[in-house]
Amino acid sequence: MNWIQAAISGVLLGGLYALYATGLSLSFGVMRLINLAHGDLAVMAAFLSSTLVLSFGGSPFWTILVLMPVGFGVGVLLQKVVFDRLVGVDPAFQIVATFGLSIVIQNALLKVYTADRRALDIGPLKTKAFKIAEVSIGLFPLLRFVVAVLVLVSLSLFLGRTSTGRAFRATSDDPEAARLMGINSRAIYMIASGIAVSTVFLAGIFSGAQTNFASSDGPGLLIFAFEAVIIGGLGSLWGTLAGGIALGLAQTLGAEQFTDWPAQLFGHVLFLIVLAVRPNGLFGRAEA
Amino acid sequence: MALLEIDAVDAFYGDFQALFGLTLAVDEGHAVAVIGANGAGKSTLLKAVAGSVPTRSGCVRFDGTNLADVLSHRRVAAGISLVPEGRRIFNSLSVEENLRVGAFCERPGPWTLPKVYENFPMLERLAKRSAAKLSGGEQQALAIGRALMNNPRLLLLDEVSLGLAPAIVKSLYAVLPNIRQEGTTVLIVEQDVNQALAASDMAYCLLEGKVSLSGRASELSRAAISAAYFGSEVHT
C-alpha cells in the first residue's frame, strides 16, 4: 500500500513540476528560447504574493488573480527589453543574458526581502486529506494537479483551435514565412513570454504555499522545470505534463525504496537516463 | 497610376548588391513577368516588394504609398502576398491550417477555403493531412492557395515551376486566369521563359540587377529576349 501512496504523491507532485515547466516548454517551442531566470521568476511571484497578503490580508489564492496578469506584463516587458535580442542568434547569448537576468532577480529579491525564508499560509487546506481505501490523498496537492492540467488543456486548446494559436505554430515552424502571412512575429513572441511568465508565477505561488522559499531558490526550481521539459520532449506540451509526472514519480518512488537518500536524486537520475537513452524525450519529435 | 512602382531601387544582401537602380511598374489588373538568369535579381526584387530584403536607395510604392517604413507583415495586411521560393509551407500544420494561416489578416474578398479547394481540388482531399507529407506539386499548390487566402491586390509568384514536372507546372498556371479574373494583379518571376510570357501581359528581363529589356509579352522577339537574358550584344 505504501507504493500506491508514493505513486499517487508522485503524480500529484508532477503536476507542480509540469506547471513550472509549461512556460519553459512554450518559450522553447515558439522561439527556441531558454530562459535561465525562469525559476527566479517563480520565487519572485511567491514573494510578491506574500507581500500582498501581508498588506491586504486574506488567503494567498486571491493574489493569483492579481499576479498572473502582472506576470503576463513582466513577460511582455522582458521580451521587449531582453529576449527579443536573443531570438535567432547564437544560443550562447541566451545563456549569458538570461543567467545574468537570474542573478539580477536573485539579488533584487535578497535586497528587498533579505535572506530569510518565507511561506505562504493557506491555512488548514495545506494539511487536509481524504482517504480512498488506505491511501490518503492531500487536497492541496490534488487541487494543484488539477490546476496544472487545466492550464495545459487551455494552452493546448489555444494553440490548436484559435487563429492566434495557429500563428504561434506557424511562427515556430518558420518565422519569416509567418511574416509573409501578415503575422507579427514580435507580437507573437511577446504573448508567448507573457504566458510563460504568467504560468510560472502561478507555479511559484502554488509552490510557496507548500514549502517555504528564499531569494536564492530559483536555480533549484529551474532544474526541475528543465528536467520535466527534457524528459517529456522539447516543444511538446503534453510531453511536459508527462515529464513532470515522470519526475515526480521518480522522486517519490525512489525515496520509498531508498529511504536514506534525498528524493531529488532519483529525479536527476531519471533525467540523465532519458538524456542518454532517448535524448528527444518521451514525446519529442525525432527531428527536434 | 500603377499599382506597384519600383523606382531606381538598390538592394543588398549584406555587402552584396543584388539590384542596381532597378525601375519597373505594374499596372493594376495586369500580369507582369520578370525573367532572367540565375542571380539576375528576380527573387530579390520580389523580396524587396514583400519587405524581407531592405532597399537602400530608391523607392517602392504600392498604390501610391511609399513602403520604405512599412514592415513586411504590414505589407501583407495592405494586400501584398508573396508565394516564396521553396514554398515555405508550415510543416507542423495540416493543409487546411496552412490555408487558414494565409487568411490571418482577414482581408475581405472572393478567396475563401471552398474557393481555393475549387481551384486546387487535390488540396481538399488532403485537407486534414500534415503539410509535410505533400508532394512538391501539392506543396506549391498549397503555397499559392495560402497566399490567395489573404485576398491580395498584388500576388507575387516566385519560381512556381522550380523542380516540378511540366504537367504539374501547367496545371498550376491553369489557375492564373481565375486569379486574374478577380482583379488580382500578378507579378511572376520565372526561369521558364515560355511559361512566364504566355501567362503575362508585360515582361521585364533582368540582367545583373538591372532591367535589360521590357515590353509587351506578345511583342518581344526571341532574339531580343535571348540577348537581354544572357547579356550578349545584339543588333536588331
- Report DSSP letters for A133-175, one per residue: TTEEEEHHHHHHHHHHHHHHHHHHHHHHHSHHHHHHHHHHH-H
Q: What is the pLDDT averaged over residues A217-232?
A: 94
Is A243 inside any structural domain? no
Q: What is the pLDDT averaged over residues A33-48?
A: 96
B82: left (phi over 0), alpha (psi -120 to 50) or beta: beta
* A284/A4 Cα distance (integer angstroms): 28
The whole-number pLDDT of residue A42 equals 97
Residue B178, amino acid: N
- β-pair partners for A135: A132
- CB-side neighbour CA atoms (13 Å) of A32: 15
Indicate the SS3 state at residue A262: coil
The whole-number pLDDT of residue B235 equals 52
Please tell me which residue of chain B has the smallest CA distance to A171. B90
Is A285 inside any structural domain? no
The whole-number pLDDT of residue A2 equals 87
The whole-number pLDDT of residue A195 equals 97
Contact assignment for A184 to B93 by CB distance below 8 Å: no
Is A196 inside any structural domain? yes
The whole-number pLDDT of residue A286 equals 52
A205: left (phi over 0), alpha (psi -120 to 50) or beta: alpha
Element (H, E) at A71: helix A60-81
Is A128 inside any structural domain? yes
Interface test with A, best of B74, B92, B113 (most A CBs within 10 A): B92
Give percent of chain A above pLDDT 70: 98
The pLDDT-based confidence of A287 (bands split at 50, 70, 90) is: very low
Residue with cell 531519471: A270
The pLDDT-based confidence of B218 (bands split at 50, 70, 90) is: confident
C-alpha distances in angstroms, B168 versus B134, B147, B162, B171, B189? 14, 19, 11, 5, 17
ipTM score assigned to the predicted complex: 0.92
Interval B49-74: pLDDT, tens: 999 998 989 999 999 999 999 999 99
Q: What is the pLDDT averaged over residues A87-116?
A: 94
Instruction: Give yes or no for a contact between B115 and B82, defined as CB atoms under 8 angstroms apart.
Output: no
**Minimum distance, in Å, between the CA of residue A162 and any CA atom of chain B:** 10
Instruction: Give yes or no for a contact between B96 and B128, defined as CB atoms under 8 angstroms apart.
Output: yes
pTM: 0.91
Is A278 inside any structural domain? no
Is A179 inside any structural domain? yes
Q: What is the pLDDT averaged over residues B28-57?
A: 92
- Cross-chain CB nearest to A182 (options B90, B97, B150): B150
Domain count, chain A: 1
Interval A49-94: pLDDT, tens: 999 999 999 999 999 999 999 999 999 999 999 999 999 889 999 9
Is A221 inside any structural domain? no
* Range(s) of the domain holding residue A79: 16-216
Please tell me which residue of chain B has the smallest CA distance to A167. B101
Is A229 inside any structural domain? no
Contacts of A183 in chain B (CB under 8 A): 73, 101, 104
Q: Is the pLDDT of residue A267 over 50?
A: yes
* A120/A49 Cα distance (integer angstroms): 8
